[in-house]
């Protein structure tokens, strides 16, 4: 059971919340793979360097092969020279990693349930912010028990503009819709502020649907 707090920070009730998670002996590996996938897929993969064949110039031999006392050199674009090519440098590539939908959702549910102890369940507070007020939202976070420097994830069932505009100016606060969660933000936050309606949205979005047997 999770305690529910109102806008003033008072506990007004409790709510049950549970999700289907991975088996204990596979949970850690599953969540790790999902996290690596998200971070890898976020990479652009556009880093690129030129090999000696791609660097312009260097066609003429700098000096004759013998008789100068210097080392042999066939081009000024050798990787050993300043302005030359790069040996084994990065080239554009695709870092994306595939993971099927069932695994991704199972990993997300497992990660989310592992953070239940850090949940701060609150009532829908959008009516208390009819206009963007960063100071009021920051004060509410403190009433809910969050320290100013703690990294927080705020999960909303809806994204009213005044709430989003109030949240974006608060340092270390990330706000997400309940149906658009991701592994990194769940694991990276110190506290997770979640509205009561969001709990039901999460169940409907990420819980596997039971197939009805054909009679």
Over residues 139-161, the pLDDT tens digits come to 999 999 999 889 999 999 998 99
Strand partners for 177: 156
Structural domain span for residue 7: 2-43+95-206
- Answer whether residue 214 is part of any domain: no
Q: Are residues 154 and 75 in the same domain?
A: no
Rounded to two decimals, the pTM is: 0.84
β-strand 2-5 against 119-122: which pairing, if any?
Answer: parallel
Which residue from 87, 67, 69, 70 is spatially nearest to 78, judged by alpha carbons?
87
- Number of domains within the chain: 2
Model pLDDT for residues 81-115, shown as the tens digit of each residue: 999 999 999 999 999 999 999 999 999 999 999 99
Q: Are residues 146 and 55 in the same domain?
A: no
Q: Are residues 50 and 36 in the same domain?
A: no
- Answer whether residue 211 is part of any domain: no
Q: Are residues 18 and 87 in the same domain?
A: no
Sign of CA dihedral 50, 51, 57, 62: positive
Q: How confident is the model at residue 67 (pLDDT cuts 50, 70, 90)?
A: very high
**Structure-token match 């003429």, residue found:** 60
């Amino acid at each position: 059971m999770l305690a529910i707090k109102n806008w003033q920070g008072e506990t007004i009730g409790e709510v049950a919340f549970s999700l289907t998670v991975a088996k204990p002996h596979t949970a850690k590996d599953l969540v790790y793979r999902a996290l690596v996938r998200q971070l890898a897929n976020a990479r652009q993969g556009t880093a690129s360097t030129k090999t000696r064949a791609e660097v312009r110039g260097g066609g003429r031999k700098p000096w004759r092969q013998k008789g100068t006392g210097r080392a042999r050199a066939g081009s000024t674009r050798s990787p050993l020279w300043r302005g030359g090519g790069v040996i084994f440098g990065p080239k554009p590539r695709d870092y994306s990693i595939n993971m099927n939908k069932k695994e991704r959702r199972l990993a997300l549910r497992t990660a989310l349930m592992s953070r239940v102890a850090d949940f701060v369940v609150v009532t829908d507070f959008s009516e208390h912010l009819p206009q963007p007020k960063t100071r009021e939202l920051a004060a509410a976070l403190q009433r809910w028990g969050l320290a100013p420097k703690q990294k927080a994830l705020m999960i909303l069932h809806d994204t009213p503009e005044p709430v989003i505009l109030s949240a974006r100016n608060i340092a270390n606060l990330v706000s997400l819709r309940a149906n658009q969660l991701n592994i990194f933000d769940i694991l990276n936050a110190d506290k997770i502020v979640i509205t009561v309606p969001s709990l039901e949205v999460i169940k409907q979005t990420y819980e596997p649907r039971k197939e009805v047997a054909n009679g």
